[in-house]
């Protein structure tokens, strides 16, 4: 007699998923803000707009992104408690470019066979990222999709929402030739360019993730899993204190593709190589892969996590404010009249 078919036998363990909900709720509770009415466990998160009471024209700003192939390093090392930070960073670092104060975040985990400890480690990382961004983790989805994912693999994406006063959204119309570009330091690869980085470091150079690389000062796995910096606290302060004319999150495509997104027609950013320190992981990838500088420029952040456009008279004070928030920043160039784009000289 044939066995009775069950959902669990088909690869979906509902009981395990249900047992995780109170644990997820407990983790998320540490990030809960006053505007959260109802979070994890319902059909939708309930968020009050009490933060908008003092605003004349409140605007919600939303962003979504995933961790990308950096997850492959988590699979290989068995370390899953940092990629949740990346998940938050990739979305929240986008929405703060519009001057938004982060409010809440939701995550999505798609996996084959659900593993309890892996799921808990991921969500703990997400909650850690939310705490760094001063936003609430209000819900998410864990989907068991055995026919889509290889054993031991998963995908991780997130959705961030913030709020800003309409009049405080930075406008390219305020930019002028002579404004300066400030580079706010990254701490490494963040969560971009990993397809190329893995090809060079793991496939071509055959480096081991558990091997200490002297020029990095740590194992390769530790370097590659270093969580993306979250700039939310520092950036919210900058928008409160200074006239930030534009802010670009330097992710995939590097400064060449991301900085022009905030600069108006008729102006061009001219940046000076050597005006900021480049973390050694980029030099390692470039050397081992024999990669041209132009390819590095259009793939990686190369040490610049965000780029801000400010009036020249404000540059020193903005840099000092960032330093107090433990973010190094540098004057890396200026805006000049010309066709849109970026020149790296």
User: Has residue 4 been placed in a domain?
Assistant: no
Q: Residue 142: phi, psi to the nearest 5? A: -120, 110
Structure tokens at 309: 């456009």
Q: Which of 184, 116, 114, 119 is nearest to 151 (CA)?
A: 114
User: Has residue 41 been placed in a domain?
Assistant: yes
Same domain, 196 and 338: yes
How far, in Å, CA of 43 to CA of 18, rounded?
14
pLDDT tens for residues 103-115?
A: 999 999 999 988 9
Instruction: Give the per-residue pLDDT at 47.
Output: 84
Confidence of residue 51 (pLDDT cuts 50, 70, 90): low
How far, in Å, CA of 301 to CA of 192, rounded?
8
Same domain, 218 and 256: yes
User: Has residue 161 been placed in a domain?
Assistant: yes
Q: What is the mean pLDDT of residues 177-188?
A: 98
More confident residue, 29 or 224: 224
Beta strands in 152-265 (DSSP E): 154-165, 180-185, 212-213, 218-219, 246-249
Show the domain range for 98. Answer: 14-168
How far, in Å, CA of 307 to CA of 97, rounded?
10
Answer yes or no: is pLDDT of 2 > 60. Answer: no
Kindly state the percentage of the chain with pLDDT values over 90. Answer: 81
**Which residue, of 113, 136, 168, is where some domain finishes?**
168
Same domain, 203 and 254: yes
Answer yes or no: is pLDDT of 155 > 60. Answer: yes
Same domain, 61 and 185: no
CATH code (residue 299): 3.90.650.10
Same domain, 162 and 238: no
Instruction: Give the per-residue pLDDT at 164.
Output: 95
Structure tokens at 225: 């899993």
pLDDT tens for residues 211-267?
A: 999 999 999 999 999 999 999 999 999 999 999 999 999 999 999 999 999 999 999
Answer yes or no: is pLDDT of 42 > 80. Answer: no
Answer yes or no: is pLDDT of 1 > 60. Answer: no
More confident residue, 121 or 5: 121
Answer yes or no: is pLDDT of 329 > 80. Answer: yes
Same domain, 204 and 135: no
Q: What is the mean pLDDT of the chain?
A: 93
Least confident of 142-146, 158-162, 246-250, 293-297: 142-146
Answer yes or no: is pLDDT of 52 > 80. Answer: no
Instruction: Find how far residue 211's CA is from the centre of its chain.
Output: 26
Same domain, 298 and 235: yes
CATH code (residue 105): 3.30.1330.10
Cα torsion for 95, 81, 325, 136, to the nearest 10°? 50
For residue 58, the surrounding DSSP H or E stretch is strand 58-66
Q: What is the mean pLDDT of residues 13-18?
A: 83
User: Has residue 6 been placed in a domain?
Assistant: no
How far, in Å, CA of 194 to CA of 58, rounded?
37
Same domain, 155 and 187: no
Instruction: Give the per-residue pLDDT at 22.
Output: 84
- In sequence order, what are the residues at sequence separation of 6 or more whose Cβ sits closer than 8 angstroms to the Cβ of residue 217? none
In this structure, are strands 218-219 and 267-271 parallel, antiparallel, or unpaired? unpaired
**Which residue, of 126, 147, 168, is where some domain finishes?**
168
Number of domains in the chain: 2
Confidence of residue 54 (pLDDT cuts 50, 70, 90): confident
Q: Are 14 and 8 in contact (CB under 8 A)?
A: yes
């Amino acid at each position: 007699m044939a066995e009775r078919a069950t959902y669990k036998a088909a690869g979906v363990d509902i009981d395990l998923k249900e047992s995780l909900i109170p644990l997820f709720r407990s983790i998320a509770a540490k990030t809960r803000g006053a505007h959260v009415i109802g979070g994890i466990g319902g059909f939708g998160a309930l968020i009050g707009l009490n933060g908008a009471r003092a605003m004349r024209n409140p605007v919600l700003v939303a962003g979504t992104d995933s961790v990308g192939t950096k997850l492959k390093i988590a699979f290989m090392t068995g370390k899953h408690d940092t990629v949740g930070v990346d998940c938050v960073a990739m979305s929240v670092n986008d929405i703060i470019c519009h001057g938004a104060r982060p409010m809440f975040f939701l995550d999505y985990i798609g996996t084959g066979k659900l593993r309890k400890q892996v799921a808990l480690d991921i969500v703990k990382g997400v909650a850690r990222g939310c705490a760094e961004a001063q936003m609430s983790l209000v819900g998410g989805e864990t989907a068991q999709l055995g026919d889509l994912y290889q054993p031991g693999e998963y995908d991780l994406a997130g959705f961030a929402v913030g709020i800003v006063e309409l009049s405080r959204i930075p406008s390219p119309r305020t930019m002028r030739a002579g404004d300066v570009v400030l580079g706010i330091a990254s701490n490494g690869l963040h969560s971009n360019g990993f397809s190329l980085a893995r090809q060079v470091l793991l496939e071509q150079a055959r480096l081991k993730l558990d091997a200490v690389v002297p020029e990095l000062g740590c194992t390769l796995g530790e370097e590659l899993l270093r969580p993306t910096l979250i700039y939310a606290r520092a950036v919210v302060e900058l928008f409160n204190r200074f006239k930030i004319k534009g802010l670009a999150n330097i992710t995939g495509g590097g400064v060449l593709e991301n900085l022009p997104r905030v600069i108006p027609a008729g102006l061009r950013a001219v940046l000076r190589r050597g005006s900021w320190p480049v973390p050694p992981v980029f030099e390692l990838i470039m050397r081992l892969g024999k990669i041209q500088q132009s390819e590095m420029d259009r793939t990686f952040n190369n040490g610049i996590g965000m780029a801000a456009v400010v009036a020249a008279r404000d540059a020193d004070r903005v840099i000092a404010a960032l330093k107090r928030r433990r973010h190094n920043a540098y004057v890396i160039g200026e805006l000049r009249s010309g066709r849109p784009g970026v020149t790296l000289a």
